[in-house]
Amino acid sequence: MTRLSDLYLRALLRLLPRRFRKRHGAELLAVTRRMRCDLGPSPGPAVLARFYATVTWDLVRHAPWQIPGGRSKNTVTSPLERRIDPVMKRPVGFSWLDIKLGVRMLARYPGIAVVGTVAIAVAIALGTFYFEAVNKFREPGVSAPGGEPLVSIHNWDAQAGAPEPQALYDFRVWSREARTVDNLGAAHVFVRNLATGDGRVEPVRGAEITAGAFPLMGATPLLGRTLTDQDEDPAEPPVVVLGHALWKSRFDSDPGIIGRTVKLGTVDATVVGVMPEGFSFPATQRIWAPLRVNPAATLPRQGPPVAVFGRLVPGHSMTEARAELAAIGERLAAAAPATHENLRPLLTAYGNPLPGGGQAQFVNTILTVVNGIFLALLAIISMNVATLVFARTAGRGWEISVRNALGASRTRIVVQLFAEALVLTGLAAVVGLVAAKVALTQGLGMMQGSGALPFWIDDSLSWQTILYTVVMTLFGAAIIGVLPALRATRLNVQEALRNAAAGRSSLRFGGFWTTVIVAQVALTVALIPLALNGVSQSNRFMQRAEGIGAERYLAASIGMNREDYASDAETFNAHARFSFEELERRLLAEPGVEEVAFADRLPVEDQFKYAIEVDTTGGVPATGSQTSTMVQVSENFFDTFGTSVVAGRAFRPLDFEMGNVILVNQGFVQHVLEGRNAVGQRVRIAGGENSSLTGDTWYEIVGVVANFGWQLPSPAEQAAIYRPRLPRADAAMKMAVRTRDPGSFGPRLRAVALGVDPRIQVTEVQPLARVGGGEATTNWALTSVVWLVCLVVMTLSATGIHALMAFIVARRTREIGIRSALGATPQRIIRGVFARALLQVGLGIVAGGVLAALIGFESIPTLLGAGAVMLVVGTGACAVPLRRALRIDPTEALRSEV
Amino acid sequence: MKKAWFHILLVVARGASHGAEIQRQTAERTGGEVTLYPVTLYRALDELADAGLIAETEAPGDEQHNEKRRYYLITPGGQEALVAEAAALEEAAREAKAAVRAARA
């Protein structure tokens, strides 16, 4: 006999009680082997299949319910007792046999097994994915190679409520005085243009970093060397170390790269080393240069912004390190109150976001709430599955009653039903974990494509996440197993046995289960509009570039890197303004380029919303919408996108200096001003995305432009304000170039920018028609998840209603028979039996409508549609039990009860 | 009496025997009509032992080497049960023959 079939038989044997197995296992296997040999040396597949099927059936039909645990001498066992599984007689507790029974129950009710497993798996996968993703970004737990935790030290400005990034002075003090944190290092991260000999110019993320960071991370170079303390001396020639990805993509993994010169920003530097794959310290960096600012010469709150990091000295806790740094901070504040009165060193685990602050608390609240939503989803789905399990448990009323009568405690039965549920949720947890892992790998893979992921983010599942999944599994099993078990075992034993003998079940679908079914119908009805909304969003993403001819534009993000912190910010900004103007001039001189415009958001991108206030002092009524989008644009923005001023005037150069006038679109006139004349009215920005724009300033409307370039979900959202702004170095900015061939102009754009100023960074270069692709993908993924959940909940609703109705029909067979015999019409029977299901569906639809309205979906046709879908699903679920009820033969029904 | 019980009792009535042998002899005697599948067989052995109809016994001298096998021998109670079952079967057979004869006559 083959090894495989031996393994199979051994696995099957595990289903039998241990005592029986120990007593007869070896002989049983030997007999089976001999029977297999008797089939001949090469029996046909049909013969073999029949043999194994018969042997399997022989084993399964005797497994545990039927076999007494073994012979007990000197005790008399009644036939009835022999039918009861031995688990019952054990003390309360969990046993392997409980689990085996659970497996058998799954096999016996494959419908519940499949629907339940898929539904729970979806809920667990969502919860697990979310938990892991949040933890990866919030508490990554980065450690040094020796396992000691890495820490970040921020200089928290209590007055500003934000960290003070210019912390080189403090870094020097902390390095000298701290005993609980060692190997302190600092890094100034940047994005600079990297120009190579082949004429390619691309911005790369890098860091000016202290040499100690490399040994701190235990990193040894793949080629050449890492940075040294000597490199930090400004008198030494400039050097850089390349990251693996950069070396591979920009230098074709050239083994002779060491010693070559590259231009990083404005500096020609020699490549001295290449780091191995995976090294991108401090987070996502691809190139490293020495931090060449002598901390001793840096004054407090001066110099480049730096991130300070170090290693927690073994034997010290985070609390001790925090206390020590707090003491150092207090000493500094006392010694230099002018600069340090409000500064406090703040220690966090490396990679964790900064604690404190209203926004951080807000984020924490949101994260907790979302976690709660996933748990609630799991609870609802579990309750739905519990409905199915309850219907099944009701069918097992006889078994439960007999066990009760024979002395099995209520706890014993509850534990066993919990174990059965645990098998189901355990299976679902495995499926859910695999799905979460796949989603994580795919999701991170998509993000990794842009190279924006910190090095500590990988697709592994942490032990905390596994633990969380285990908790969810137990939680789900508790709902699925314990609720039905408690209800099933609450019965009076004698009555239950009497009913069981008469073939009836004593269990009833009471108010609790009605509530569960109503809840699941409501959830489905509320989810359908959400899912539909996702689809309409997707359509909007696809259509939003319509109307402006987005295919004619090349879009890019543009910025300027301040490499030199010796000059002040004002000088730098003035320089930047000049550079951007020069860039615009040179681009317009390029063949094929028609227009160039700058703005903080381009037309196809999602726009920032602001709360606004219209000046009513001139007698203007305060009616109409109080929100509008706002875009800050350069002078020729409207010309570039081919729109025109329909009233008032366009921006003039002086407007860009004063900054107190705005243009609005026709949507604004229509929805905010309700058609009144806009020119001359004043608007204040009361709140919104960019806090620097909000305040008491009144902006005067000087002109009105046509609506363009943005398919908005509702007309009321089409109000837009345009504010004049020159391109600046200290704010995020986008650029649109109208050209004959946007697809191929990207490299030329970069080359022109490099020619103007090597510090200009041109990133995210892509045709305007493709901008927002990431948002569309995210929207698609979220919509898919909502649809999936919607589908799962709807399937559960249908199966739940089906189970309920089938159960009711089975329970009321006699009654239906009598009514039928007495001449009741099918309509009356349907009304009598199915009114309840329809009532539940109806209640659910109403509750779902209310829920959807509360979430913010007020579209009556959508809600009616969702209700209709649920009504069809609910009625469909009743169909099979309905047919069964109508086919009940009165004489048969009455006879079966005698 | 269960069919499996009857066939097992028939074999062990002739002398001590183990599971595999009981199965083989049953198949041989019934010309392959009755197959005692393993779990059915060992479960029935346990039940018969519980009911006191068979008892475990020492292995015959010449088969001492195989320690894994359990040997069973019929008990006086088992003999009684087997005889009673055989009598019932005889009675049933007589009745069946009489019924058929009556029907043909």
CA atoms in the 13 A half-sphere facing the CB of A794:
23
**Shortest alpha-carbon distance between residue A57 and chain B (Å):** 10
Give the confidence band of A35 by pLDDT, cuts at 50, 70, 90: confident
pLDDT class for A295, splitting at 50, 70, 90? low
What is the spatial distance between Cα A355 and Cα A295, in angstroms, rounded to a whole number? 27
Mean pLDDT of chain B: 87
Looking at residue A709, what is its pLDDT?
Answer: 61
Choose the most confident range, by mean pLDDT, from A10-24, A178-192, A696-710. A178-192
Q: Beta-carbon neighbour count of residue A277 at 10 Å? A: 11
Helix (H) or strand (E) holding A739: strand A733-739
* β-strand pairing of A287-290 with A201-209: parallel
Chain centroid to Cα A615, Å, comes to 42
Tell me the two tokens of residue A72.
């007990």
The answer to whether A24 contacts B68, with C-beta atoms less than 8 Å apart, is no
Ranked by mean pLDDT, which of A317-321, A402-406, A413-417, A833-837 comes out on top? Answer: A317-321
Alpha helix (H) residue ranges in A812-859: 813-821, 826-855
Selection from A529, A606, A536, A554 nearest residue A775 by Cα: A606
Residue A499 pLDDT > 70, yes or no? Answer: no
Which residue from B minimizes the CA distance to A77? Answer: B50
Q: How many CB atoms lie within 10 A of CB B30?
A: 12
- Whether the pLDDT of residue A508 is over 70: the answer is no
Find out whether A516 and A793 touch, Cβ atoms under 8 Å.
Answer: no
CB A188 within 8 A of CB A304: yes
Whether residue A740 lies within 8 A of chain B, CB to CB, comes out as no
Question: Is residue A491 over pLDDT 60?
Answer: no
Cα four-point dihedral sign A137, A139, A143, A149:
positive
- As to burial, measured by CB atoms within 10 angstroms (0-12 exposed, 13-18 middle, 19+ buried), residue A550 is buried
Q: For residue B41, what pLDDT band results from cuts at 50, 70 and 90?
A: very high
Tell whether A333 is within 8 A of chain B (Cβ): no
- Which residues 6-35 on chain A approach chain B with CB closer than 8 angstroms? 16, 20, 23-24, 26-28, 30-32, 34-35
Q: Which of A79, A129, A78, A26 is nearest to A789 (CA)?
A: A129
Using a 10 angstrom Cβ sphere, with 0-12 exposed, 13-18 middle and 19 or more buried, the burial of residue B24 is: middle
CA distance A238 to A291: 11
Q: What is the pLDDT of residue A73?
A: 35
Can you tell me the mean pLDDT for A123-128? 89
What is the DSSP track for A248-270? HHHHTT-TT-TT-EEEETTEEEE
User: Which residue in B38, B46, B70 is closest to A31 by CB distance?
Assistant: B38
pLDDT over 60 (residue A313): yes
- pLDDT reported for residue A69: 45
**How far is residue A189 CA from its own chain's centroid?**
28
The token pair at A764 is: 């995210």
A71 and B46 in contact by Cβ < 8 A? yes
A71 contacts B37? CB cut-off 8 A: no
Contact: A77, B50; criterion CB under 8 Å? yes
B18 contacts on A by Cβ (under 8 Å)? 27
Pairing outcome for strands A261-264 and A181-195? antiparallel
Give the pLDDT confidence of A424-444 residue by residue, as tens digits: 999 999 999 999 999 888 888
- For the cut 80, the answer to whether the pLDDT of residue A804 exceeds it is no
pLDDT of A484 reads 75
Looking at residue A310, what is its pLDDT? 93
Q: Which residue of B has its CA nearest to A63?
A: B39
B-chain residues near A67 (CB < 8 A):
43, 46
Pairing of strands A223-224, A267-274: antiparallel
The runs of H, that is alpha helices, within A594-660 are 637-640, 653-658
Identify the CA nearest to A185 among candidates A148, A155, A151, A162: A151
Q: Which two tokens stand for residue A849?
A: 């409508």
What are the CB-based long-range contacts (under 8 Å, 24+) for A439-444?
A439/A125, A439/A129, A440/A129, A440/A132, A440/A133, A443/A133, A443/A781
In this prediction, residue A143 carries a pLDDT of: 84
Best to test chain B binding among A52, A58, A78 (most B CBs inside 10 Å): A58
Q: Structure tokens of A831?
A: 């009304």
Q: What secondary structure, in 3-state letters, does A411-440 show?
A: HHHHHHHHHHHHHHHHHHHHHHHHHHHHHH
Cα distances from A222 to residues A242, A273, A285, A397, in angstroms, run 10, 7, 16, 70
- Closest to A793 measured CA to CA, from A528, A536, A530, A421: A528
Q: Does B53 touch chain A (CB under 8 A)?
A: no
Of B18, B39, B70, the CB nearest to A58: B39
B42–A55 C-beta distance less than 8 A:
no
What gap in Å lies between CA A814 and CA A890, rounded to an integer? Answer: 8
pLDDT at A170 over 70: yes
- Whether A420 and A101 have beta carbons less than 8 Å apart is answered as yes
Task: Please check the confidence at residue A70 and state whether its pLDDT lies above 50.
Answer: no
Interface of A with B in 37-76 (CB under 8 A): 54-55, 58-59, 62-63, 66-68, 70-71
Hey, what amino acid is at A172?
Answer: R
> How distant is the Cα of B44 from the closest Cα of chain A, in angstroms?
10
Strand partners, A632: A723
- Reported residue count of chain B is 105
Indicate if the pLDDT at residue B93 is higher than 50.
yes
Nearest-CA distance A86 → chain B (Å)? 15
Q: Is B15 in contact with B73 (CB distance < 8 Å)?
A: yes
Q: What tens digit of pLDDT does each residue of A752-765 get?
A: 988 888 888 888 88
CB nearest B19 (choices: A31, A54, A63): A31
Task: Report the pLDDT averaged over residues A183-187.
Answer: 91
**pLDDT above 60 (res A496):** no
Chain B environment of A20 (Cβ under 8 Å): 42-43, 46
Answer whether B41 touches A (CB < 8 Å): yes
CB of A830 closer than 8 Å to CB of A882? yes
pLDDT at site A85: 41
Q: Do A34 and B20 touch (CB under 8 A)?
A: yes
* Interatomic CA distance for residues A128 and A119, integer angstroms: 14
Residue A80, Cα to own-chain centre: how many angstroms? 54
Mean pLDDT of B52-62: 82
CB contact under 8 A, B39 and A28: yes
Predicted pLDDT of residue A359 = 57
Strand ranges, E, within A275-388 = 287-290, 307-312, 343-349
Nearest to A62 among B18, B43, B68 (CB): B43
Average pLDDT for residues A707-714, to the nearest whole number? 62
Within 8 A of A35 by CB-CB distance, chain B residues are 23, 38
Q: Where do the H-state alpha helices sit in A163-312?
A: 168-177, 213-216, 244-251
Query: Angle of helix B3-12 relative to helix B19-29, nearest 10 degrees?
Result: 100
Q: What is the mean pLDDT of residues A636-665?
A: 88
CA atoms within 13 A on the CB side of A644: 2
What burial class does residue A704 get, using C-beta atoms within 10 Å of its C-beta: 0-12 exposed, 13-18 middle, 19+ buried?
buried
Which tokens belong to A580? 């951007």
The answer to whether the Cα torsion of A874, A879, A881, A886 is positive or negative is positive
Put simply, the answer to whether A24 touches B42 (Cβ < 8 Å) is: yes
List for chain A the helix, strand, coil content (%; round to 5): 55, 15, 30
Mean pLDDT of A259-288: 90
B38: nearest CA in chain A?
A28
Measured between alpha carbons, how far is A805 from A802 in angstroms, rounded to an integer? 5
With beta carbons under 8 A apart, name residues in chain A contacting B39: 16, 28, 58-59, 62-63
Longest C-alpha distance within chain A, in Å? 109
Could you tell me if B26 lies within 8 Å of chain A, comparing CB atoms? no
Q: What is the pLDDT of residue A71?
A: 39
SS3 call for A90: coil
Dist CA A92 CA A414 (whole Å) = 10
pTM of this prediction exceeds 0.80? no
How many Cβ atoms sit within 10 Å of the Cβ of residue A615? 14
pLDDT of residue A80: 38
* CA-based nearest distance B76→chain A, Å: 18
Cα(A678)–Cα(A682) distance, integer angstroms: 9
Strand (E) or helix (H) holding A573: helix A569-589
Nearest CB partner across the interface for A71, out of B23, B38, B50: B50
Whether omega before A86 lies within 30 degrees of 0, making that bond cis, reads no
Is the Cβ pair B37, A58 closer than 8 Å?
A: yes
What contacts A30, CB < 8 A, 6 or more positions away?
Answer: B20, B68
> CA A834, CA A877: separation in Å to the nearest integer?
11
Instruction: Inform me whether the C-beta atom of residue B49 falls under 8 Å from chain A C-beta atoms.
Output: yes
The 8-class DSSP code of residue A14 comes to T
* A807, pLDDT greater than 80: no
In whole numbers, what is the pLDDT of chain A averaged over residues? Answer: 80
Chain B hits for A59, Cβ within 8 Å: 38-39
Asked if A850 has any chain B CB less than 8 Å from its own CB, the reply is no
B40/A16 touch (CB, cutoff 8 Å), yes or no: no
Q: Which of A304, A302, A251, A305 has the alpha carbon at shortest distance from A274?
A: A251
Pairing of strands A661-665, A698-705: parallel
pLDDT above 70: residue B51: yes
- Rounded to whole angstroms, how far apart are CA atoms A253 and A274? 10
Chain A contact for B6 (CB, 8 A cutoff): no
B17 contact partners, CB below 8 Å, separation of at least 6: B11, B25, B71, B72
- Predicted pLDDT at A77: 39
The predicted model gives A622-631 an average pLDDT of 78
